[in-house]
Amino acid sequence: MQHVRQHYIDGDWVDPLDPTLLDVIDPSSEQLITRIAGGGPRDVDRAVAAARKAFPLFSTTTPPQRLELLRAVLSEYERRREDIAEVLSTEIGAPFQIARKWQLALAELRSVIEVLEHYQFEELQGSTKIVREPIGVVGLITPWNWPIGQIIMKVAPALAAGCTMVLKPSEVAPLNAIIWSEIMHSAGVPAGVYNMVQGEGAVVGEAMSAHPGIDMMSFTGSTRAGILIAQSAAKTVKRVAQELGGKSANILLPDADFESAVTKGVLGVMRNSGQACSAPTRMLVPAERHEEVKRIAKSVAEGLIVGDVRDPKTNVGPVVSKSQFDNVQRFIRAGIDEGADLVTGGPGRPEHLNRGYFVRPTVFANVHNDMIIAREEIFGPVLSILPYRNEEEAIDLANDTIFGLAAYVQSSDLARARSVAARMRAGTVHINYTAPDRAAPFGGYKQSGNGRENGKWGLEEYLEVKALLGYDAPLA
């Protein structure tokens, strides 16, 4: 792959000013794929300077002009989609069919285009004109679990708003971002509008967060890292939008179809090897149905195929890195030590695999909400089943968390499901596993973040609001 040891700045591929080399590891084989260029503060300075230089002109482009640009990006993206799926399967260990189906985020890109087609940047309120303008230069930091999707969910609305930007993709999964940058170049994005600096969060991310030339930071990742970014950004009072961790409750009400609800719940946790911040990792079930739920969950989890990401039958690939594997193992051992019932799975790799960061799909039952596995985000294929005595206790247990990204409610009575959903303290509540809505706002309550992505809400994160008083008032 070209450009692995370069950054993309001011419309060109450039060598780093503060060069380091960072290993990119195939999590299926534990072998080195390549080494990328890690940048530093001077690389960030150069990228921010390019973005600031490009902002005055790009911020005055019209919505139709930006629509034309986004459609060109979409066309190039569709042309390179197989290349991206190949890279994602290699660098994050996503089964290839899942990478093609779930990771590419074409729907998210198309959704931004649809929003821009109809969005009103100006409105008259009495004699006052309300104008929404691009906020300026934005810094974008994206994670490794849905890497290209998160790039799209930040870059596309920033472009639609008329912002210029600096992207720092995850150093764990950086290769898809190189292809994305090639797409942006081929689509004709003007020089300086989009810039990418590879590197570590503690170096490049910190330099971006504290940089006086960046007007806004948008970050997706852990709550711990989000706190550090907010602290650095506070020094220059820049806007911060964050989508952070989650520990989503999935309430199965007594009238739910348990065979279906448990099956879909288990699969929702295990997809992407459990590396999804909105995964339904806490399954809350009536105490009298606890044994039935254990039986179904065990059957579903043991039916999953873990292994070769090129095999179309594979459901679960590895977690992304050795540090992630070790962290998940620590949580599994903690669940056993705390006395939860290990229904299936457990420590170590599946028996048929002797290398790679593969985790056994694991289900714990009889979990209490004060256990570590019920309170902390594991980010691996681990489900906790918690019994409850009545609906009120289920709601209390669901909300008893520092997180609030997502929640799930299953019931054959839609009115009852709506009533429970209304009491969930979470940014997104899924009723009966409904299909995703790419135009709906996505973001969290509490320590799951602030701000929203997707739809018009995602666009508005990158806009300032100006009031022109007396705009339509008669002259005195």
For the stretch 388-418, pLDDT in tens is 999 999 999 999 999 999 999 999 999 999 9
- Please identify every residue annotated as catalytic: 243, 277
Report how far apart, in Å, the C-alpha atoms of 454 and of each of 67, 95, 146, 154 are: 17, 26, 15, 9
Claim to verify: residue 321 and residue 372 sit in the same structural domain? yes
Q: Is residue 2 included in any domain, yes or no?
A: no
> Quick one: tokens of 140?
């974008």
Q: Sign of torsion, CA 425 431 433 438?
A: negative
Calculate the CA dihedral of residues 319, 176, 213, 230 and round it to 10 degrees: -20
Q: Per residue in 182-191, pLDDT tens? A: 999 999 999 9
Asked whether residue 1 is domain-assigned, the answer is no
Per-residue pLDDT, averaged over 285-301, amounts to 98
> H or E stretch including 242?
strand 239-243
CA distance linking residue 399 with residue 281, whole number of Å: 14
Q: Please check whether residues 206 and 262 belong to one and the same domain.
A: no
For position 475, what pLDDT does the model report? 76
pLDDT tens sequence across 152-174: 999 999 999 999 999 999 999 99
Alpha-carbon span 41 to 63, nearest angstrom: 33
Say yes or no: 418 and 463 in one domain.
no
Residue linked to tokens 């942006």: 184
Four-residue CA torsion sign, 316, 320, 322, 326: negative
CB neighbours of 298 closer than 8 A, spacing ≥ 6?
343, 344, 363
Summarised one tens digit per residue, pLDDT across range 452-469 is 999 999 999 999 999 999
How far is Cα 42 from Cα 320, in angstroms, rounded to an integer? 29
**In angstroms, rounded to a whole number, what is the distance separating the alpha carbons of residues 328 and 334?**
10
Mean pLDDT of 406-431: 98
In whole angstroms, give the CA distance from residue 179 to residue 173: 12
Residue 359 sits in a domain of what CATH number?
3.40.309.10
Query: Is 474 domain-assigned?
Result: no
Let me know: does 176 contact 36? Beta carbons within 8 Å: no
Residue 454 lies in a domain: yes
Residues 128 and 177 in one domain: yes
- Hey, is 141 helix, strand or coil? strand
**For 238-264, b where at least 16 C-beta lie within 10 A, e where not — what string?**
bbbbbbbbbbbbbbbbbebebeebbbb
- DSSP code of 259? H
Both tokens of 250, joined, read 């999935």
Q: Where are the alpha helices (DSSP H) in 187-282?
A: 206-210, 223-234, 258-270
Q: Kindly state whether residues 228 and 307 are assigned to the same domain.
A: no
DSSP result, 286-330? EGGGHHHHHHHHHHHHHT--BS-TTSTT--B---S-HHHHHHHHH
Q: Verify that 235 and 275 share a domain, yes or no.
A: no
Structural domain that includes position 36: 7-244+447-468
Q: Which residue has the tokens 């991310």?
A: 205
Whether 236 and 275 share a structural domain: no
CA 115 to chain centre: 20
- Phi, psi of 338, rounded to the nearest 5 degrees: -80, -5
The number of domains in the chain is 2
Strand partners, 251: 284, 409
Q: With DSSP H G I counted as helix, E B as strand and the rest as coil, what are the percentages for the chain, rounded to 5?
A: 40, 20, 40
Q: Do 233 and 253 lie in a common domain?
A: no
Mean pLDDT, range 201-209, rounded to an integer: 96
Same domain assignment for residues 145 and 267: no
Q: Is residue 424 part of a domain?
A: yes
Confidence category of residue 476, pLDDT binned at 50, 70, 90? low
Fill in the amino acid letter for 401: T
Q: Are residues 105 and 238 in the same domain?
A: yes
Between CA 97 and CA 92 the distance in angstroms is 13
CATH code for position 138? 3.40.605.10
Quick one: 300 and 213 in the same domain? no
Would you say residue 238 lies in a domain?
yes
Inside any domain, residue 82:
yes
In a domain, 344, yes or no: yes
> Which tokens go with 332?
């599994």
What is the tens place of the pLDDT at every residue in 1-48?
689 999 999 999 999 998 899 999 999 999 999 999 999 999 999 999
- List the one residue out of 435, 395, 433, 396 whose CA is nearest residue 411: 433
Q: Could you tell me if 430 and 453 lie in one domain?
A: no
Give pLDDT, residue 378: 97
327: left (phi over 0), alpha (psi -120 to 50) or beta: alpha
How sure is the predictor about 419, in pLDDT bands with cuts at 50, 70 and 90?
Answer: very high
